Amino acid sequence: MAEHSKTDDIAYDPFDAKVMSNPHPYYTRLRNEHPVYYTPQYDTFWLSRFDDIVEMLAIGDNALVSSESSIPIHCQHRNARQGSRARSSRAFAAA
């Protein structure tokens, strides 16, 4: 539980307009301070280091890695109107 309170100081929400307008300071903090960051509102873990992402993808034990159920409804509706599909990756990389 202590780990959860540690993540609250960054307030990372990739769908927040403030984050979307300038995500790079968040990416830097994620890589340096929270390489694995949990957002309870989306029930999603965000990986911010390349090697961690490669390691997770290399597991290869037929584990399901998906974010479809964690994408906010308003994003799903916007994507549907635009004719695109929601991304299917539960681990997201910070660029």
DSSP for 16-57, written as a single string: SHHHHHS-HHHHHHHHHH-SEEEETTTTEEEE-SHHHHHHHH
DSSP 8-state code for residue 64: -
CA-to-CA distance for 61 and 17, rounded, in angstroms?
A: 36
pLDDT tens-digit map of 21-44: 999 999 999 999 999 999 888 888
* Closest by Cα among 38, 89, 37 to 64: 89
45, pLDDT greater than 70: yes
At residue 85 the predicted structure's pLDDT band, cuts being 50, 70 and 90, is: very low
pLDDT tens-digit map of 47-73: 999 998 888 878 777 666 665 655 665
CA-to-CA distance for 48 and 46, rounded, in angstroms?
A: 6
